[in-house]
């Protein structure tokens, strides 16, 4: 894993923590509907963050030098 990929992983972790915090804060204001609101709001955001991070990590993959071909 190269330095760019490590940076993306760190950014993804921070975004997931931020999303968790915001959804808990917003959910606390909903009282009895907190659990349902939390699930409906956090899961789509977290899923989008993870999918976006995986896409970025794959794009930043280092290309290894191709060795001599046999055949």
Secondary structure of 39-60 as H, E, C letters: HHHHHHHHHHHHHHHHHHHHHC
pLDDT tens per residue, range 53-66? 999 999 988 766 44
Q: Cα–Cα distance between 27 and 5 in angstroms, integer?
A: 32
| 67 phi, psi to nearest 5 deg | -80, 180
Q: What is the DSSP letter of 2?
A: -
Say whether pLDDT at 69 is over 70: no
The model's pTM is 0.79
Tell me what pLDDT residue 66 has: 47
Say whether pLDDT at 32 is over 50: yes
């Amino acid at each position: 894993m190269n330095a760019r990929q490590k940076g993306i992983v760190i950014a993804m972790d921070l975004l997931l923590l931020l999303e968790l915090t915001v959804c808990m804060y917003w959910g606390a204001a909903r009282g009895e509907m907190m659990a349902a609101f939390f699930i409906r709001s956090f899961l789509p955001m977290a899923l989008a963050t993870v999918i976006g991070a995986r896409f970025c990590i794959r794009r930043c993959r280092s290309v290894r030098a191709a060795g001599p071909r046999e055949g």
